[in-house]
Amino acid sequence: MRYVFLLIICLWAAVANAQDWEDRQRFGDPQAAAALRILSNTDTRFFAPIIDRFVAGNAGVQVDYMVTGSADLYNIYREDPQGYDVVISSAMDLQIKLANDGYALQVTGTGHPAWAQWRESLFAFSTEPAAIVINKAAFAGQPIPASRQELIQALRARPDVFADRIGTYDVRQSGLGYLFATQDARASETYWRLTEVMGGLGAKLYCCSGAMIDDLVSGKIAVAYNVLGSYAAARSDTIDEIAVILPSDFPTTMMRSAFASRDTKVPAAAAGFIRHLTTLRSDAELAAAFPLPPLDPASQASIPLEPALITYLDRLKRRTFIQEWENAIIQ
């Protein structure tokens, strides 16, 4: 009876620790000799063409692609670094933190530009701006805001239209949202004025870009702030309903990055996938199959891939920033 009880406890613990993925798909031959486990916050539909090309050229590898939010991704990986072989995220600060803490495997000889990598351990492969995305119907007959200040003016001018119809990231839950918010706040005080205006209109808070864009298309919200414009532009079903605006006052542009786990059980496959990602710059056919913007040397990200990003991950700084953000957005 004692052993039955212990078995029940173990089974309960396994269930409790099971991860509830946003999506999980496997690519390639289930009987392949190597299983490459990729932990990512990038929607599967965007990454599937890249994985398909990788699997086609590596018949002995099956890919297990698991999707979760950027903040959850960081915690999941730190709790079990041996459980994943490649980590992909848009939250540059969290990625550089993991690499700086020694979790990343060095992948040499990629020829990747210095500004798009860190110590041959962390590699950027896309350049994506934060954007203001609007539902066109809400601005019918009205000027389209081209900057944050103009957005503030538009929201103040028609509170009846925008009350409870503004969306932005919940920076407490979204690693990318926190990154964008801290970088915006560093760049201009306009961010805090805009946040207060959005809060006064009952802004809705989201974990991720996809959910915000869904609500924009349906008309549930009229404006999404700091959403990934690349996600909106990549969706063919949104063309008639939404418009993507890159603010003219100052850009906030991030680079999506990846690293091979130091504790991977399949180092050759993990390093091979990183090299595969770096070829997006030179392989026109592969780049054409990837719906997100590849690295663009002419428009390097406004957020550099460097350890200075870790500053706002300091517990005290993070707690102070979130408290100020809550005071502005939750009214």
Are residues 52 and 8 part of one domain? Answer: yes
Summarised one tens digit per residue, pLDDT across range 72-90 is 999 999 999 999 999 999 9
Provide the residue count of the chain: 331
One domain for residues 109 and 238: no
- Residue 248 to residue 246: CA distance in whole angstroms: 6
Same domain, 173 and 290: no
* CA–CA separation, 24 and 65 (whole Å): 6
Q: Examine the domain organization and report whether 123 and 246 are in the same domain.
A: no
pLDDT of residue 284: 78
Domain co-membership, 212 together with 280: no
Q: What is the CATH number of the domain that holds 198?
A: 3.40.190.10
- Residue-level pLDDT at 217: 86
Angle between helix 315-329 and helix 175-187 axes, rounded to 10 deg: 80
> Does residue 236 sit in the same domain as residue 287?
no
* pTM higher than the cut 0.85: yes
Q: How many CB atoms lie within 10 A of CB 14?
A: 9
**Which residue blocks in the chain are alpha helix, DSSP H?**
2-17, 44-57, 70-79, 92-100, 148-157, 159-162, 175-187, 190-200, 209-218, 229-233, 267-278, 284-289, 315-329
Same domain assignment for residues 134 and 82: no
267, with CB counted inside 10 A (0-12, 13-18, 19+), is middle
Please state the domain count of the chain.
2
Provide the residue range defining the domain that includes 19.
2-127+255-307
> Do residues 230 and 261 both lie within one domain?
no
Are residues 281 and 187 part of one domain? no
Residue 47 is predicted with a pLDDT of 92
Tokens of 274: 């990183």
136 three-class SS: helix
Same domain, 268 and 325: no
- What is the model's pLDDT at position 74? 94
Paired residues of 176 in beta bridges:
none
Q: Which residues of the chain have pLDDT under 70?
A: 1-18, 235-239, 298-301
Identify whether residues 151 and 66 lie together within a single domain.
no
Place of tokens 């670094």: 81
17 and 164 inside one domain: no
Please state, as a whole number, how many other Cβ atoms lie within 10 Å of the Cβ of residue 149. 16
